[in-house]
A and B are shown apart, each in its own frame.
Chain A
């Protein structure tokens, strides 16, 4: 059984949903190993993965990109920061949901589940996941760059 991060499945889910929800074309960069500290650009959505393997997904953007994406998702401008946070949490949730479904279809014995999203917004946010080896992909979009990091521990 492959013990990889399946990050390409999440990247595909991100590209597909940004196309569907925002009618934007995303351009993925290289997959790279994530350094120990993940430095956020201002808004990070963290979703946990549990089941036969456990891990987490981080979706990270700066506030300007978050605003632009949220405005398109909601079809309105002048959104409050609260709405932006909610929209990005929901977007990350949808992307993660698509991703996890694909992984579960590929490896039917895993039965992976997602935890609800947590959103961190602030300055100089550093995220460390001590038990996890993650990979990161940066996706360029018309609204700015979206970074996705996926990493797993072993099974439980």
Chain B
């Protein structure tokens, strides 16, 4: 998988998250995996098609998800990952991925994104691609978001 394809997603995180109130965005570890066993409580999935095909999965803990939702809602407390919080996180993922698609358009790649799907559960194994998946840790003041990119041209 071309790592050049991943940069638009990292750039999107760095550009969009601060606009939602999340600061100190830093990139952490990068790893390559072919199968994910995620310990994350919440995974938000968006699929891509047309010039670039694949899936992007955003993984976060329940606490991080609630912190981010709270920040997005102006500091309102979020004791439970309820419908409103889920809506906020899905919207965040939608905005980041749409922003990445715009970045990809500038590279000459036309990309369509699917609506976000939110998955929660226990002991989840996820396979988002037949090719390798790049797993990037993104640190924010609200917690760590795991960006999983499994795409191909």
Chain A residues near B (Cβ < 8 Å)? 36, 40, 44, 46-51, 54-56, 81-82, 85-86, 89, 113-116, 118-132, 153, 156
Distance between Cα atoms of A3 and B125 in the complex (Å)? 34
Residue among B49, B50, B87 facing the most chain A CB atoms (10 A cut-off): B49
In the complex the two chains form, what is the Cα distance from A153 to B115 in whole Å? 7
27 A-B pairs within 8 Å (CB atoms) are namely A46-B47, A48-B47, A48-B49, A50-B50, A54-B113, A54-B115, A82-B35, A86-B127, A89-B127, A113-B49, A115-B48, A115-B49, A115-B53, A118-B45, A118-B128, A120-B124, A122-B122, A123-B121, A123-B123, A124-B121, A126-B121, A128-B86, A128-B117, A129-B115, A130-B90, A130-B116, A131-B90
Which residue of chain B is the closest to A49 with respect to CB atoms? B114
How far does the alpha carbon of A89 sit from the alpha carbon of B83 in the complex, in Å? 29
| Interface presence of B67 (CB below 8 A) | no
User: Which DSSP category, helix, strand, loop or mixed, fits chain A's interface?
Assistant: strand
Main SS class of interface, B: strand
Residues of B within 8 A of A122 (CB): 121-125
Instruction: Determine whether B46 belongs to the interface, using a CB cutoff of 8 Å to chain A.
Output: yes
Contacts of B130 in A (CB 8 A): 89, 116
Residue of A nearest to B54 (CB): A116
A115–B114 CB distance below 8 A = yes
B117 with A115: CB separation less than 8 A? no
Docked Cα-Cα span, A118 to B123, in Å, equals 16
Give the shortest distance, in Å, between B45 (CB) and chain A (any CB): 6
A82 to B37, CA, bound (A): 12
A153 to chain B, nearest CB (A): 5
Q: Complex formed: what's the CA distance from A114 to B48 in Å? A: 8
A125 touches B114 (CB 8 A): no
Residue of A nearest to B48 (CB): A115
Q: How far does the alpha carbon of A114 sit from the alpha carbon of B94 in the complex, in Å?
A: 18
Interface residue? B55 (CB, 8 A)? yes
Contact yes or no, B115 A125, CB < 8 A: no
Check if A56 sits within 8 Å of B49, measured CB to CB.
no
| Nearest CB in chain B to that of A51: its residue | B112
